Amino acid sequence: MNHKPARVFFQFVISTAALLFHGCTSIPDPQPTPVLNGIDVLIETEFAALDVLRVGLITNHTGQSRTGTSTIDLLHESPNIELVSLFSPEHGIRGTYEEDVDDSTDEQTGLTVYSLYGETRKPTPESLEGLDALVFDIQDIGCRFYTYISTMGLAMVAAAENGLSFYVLDRVNPINGTTVDGPMRRGDSHFIAFHEIPIRHGMTVGELAQLIRIENELEVDLTIVPLQNWERSMLFDETGLPWVNPSPNMRSLTQALLYPGIGLLETTQLSVGRGTDTPFEVIGAPYIDHLELAEELNRLELPGIRFVPIQFTPDASKFSGEKCQGVNIILTDRESCPIVDVGIAIAHTLHRLYAPDFDIEKYDHLLRHPYVIEQIQDKQPWESIVVTWRNEVDDFYKRRAPYLLY
């Protein structure tokens, strides 16, 4: 008879009694139940949802299991699934490109990789021939202008037009599923603003897929393979999941948290740190006085954030090889920092101090809300500008409620 389990339990009782005897009345909390992404749930169910289907997989390097196995390999090796082709988003199938991506062949599987960030951004009828379903497995970061959700939306349209089913292997929202912030998209659909949602939407890709299907009236058979053990309030480092850089310049949770505000600035005449070790944690330009900018921004007393004057020289992207002056953005309280407000306040300050070098009209390329630009140009206080979309946010909380899965 194996007495090992009883021995372990007996040792635990003795250890606990000893702790209590020495005045320690607390017992460590048990290890939390691991969070599982959709691909991990699919593995646990032996890929039942995709049984006997001919599949096209929309993915990149972030499409992998909790243990690091590629979703491409998992589906390719499954005996009950025929993985026919691959589709890659911005940055390519391996997440390394910063420009348009061509069609290619996957060296590991020999499958054709159709680029959705090149001549076309929507799967063509020719690329969908011989398929029963499209499967989406890419890590989003929870921001409207991060283009992976646009790729998903366009692929859903293509699936509807070509009579294919659509499956989303859901993934956590790394910057939480509770916070909604920023103005709604105004105007027509665009690749950096596919659907009418706020900048920070607080949804998973699976939840967004449900909202897009209903609100765009897409006649597509949609299946979500859900998360397990995820709570909406979780930030990524509370999930126990391994971090994989979703794109070349998204290298940490801190950068993901800053991105919905700081990323808005990158279409202006400003470096947001691309070409440095800390993209989206620094901003600057040759025309800026770093001491002046840090003083002006800190005077605003924005919650959860501080600004340190800095000089840096990017080795790529905007102002490559030029000395820039600006600020290092220090996130002091990630729970309380209203990062979209911070982005608006920075743009407002830069326009006040450095126009016309800082061209505020270019700020609307990602913002997609001309009224905000008009308010900044009219020299309205930034505090009064950011309250103008509060009703939009409240309305979106109600709009998204029927589609929340967790």
Match domain 38-243 to its CATH number in 3.40.50.12170, 1.20.59.20, 3.30.70.1450, 3.40.50.2000. 3.40.50.12170
pLDDT at 23 > cutoff 60: no
Q: How confident is the model at residue 31 (pLDDT cuts 50, 70, 90)?
A: low
Residue of 90 and 18 predicted with greater confidence: 90
For residue range 375-402, what is the model confidence (pLDDT) as tens digits?
999 999 999 999 999 999 999 999 999 9
- Cα Rg for the chain, rounded, in angstroms? 24
Instruction: Please report the pLDDT score of residue 19 as a whole number.
Output: 35
pLDDT the model gives residue 33: 86
Give domain limits for the chain.
38-243, 253-368
The predicted model gives 218-243 an average pLDDT of: 98
pLDDT at 24: 41
Average pLDDT over residues 124-150: 98
Residue 96 is predicted with a pLDDT of: 75
Task: Check pLDDT > 90 for residue 333.
Answer: yes
> Has residue 30 got a pLDDT over 90?
no
Ordered strands of the 165-169 beta sheet: 104-105, 112-115, 82-88, 54-59, 133-137, 165-169, 222-225
Could you report the per-residue pLDDT of 297-321, keeping only the tens digit for each?
A: 999 999 999 999 999 999 999 999 9
The predicted pLDDT at position 21 comes to 37
Fold of the domain spanning 253-368: Aspartate Aminotransferase, domain 1 (3.90.1150)
Q: Is the pLDDT of residue 1 over 50?
A: no
Residue 29's pLDDT band, with cuts at 50, 70 and 90, is low
pLDDT at 328 over 70: yes
Residue 20 has pLDDT above 90, yes or no: no
Mind listing the pLDDT tens digit for each residue in 145-200?
Answer: 999 999 999 999 999 999 999 999 999 999 999 999 999 999 999 999 999 999 99
Residue 143 has pLDDT above 80, yes or no: yes
What is the rounded average pLDDT for all residues in the chain? 92
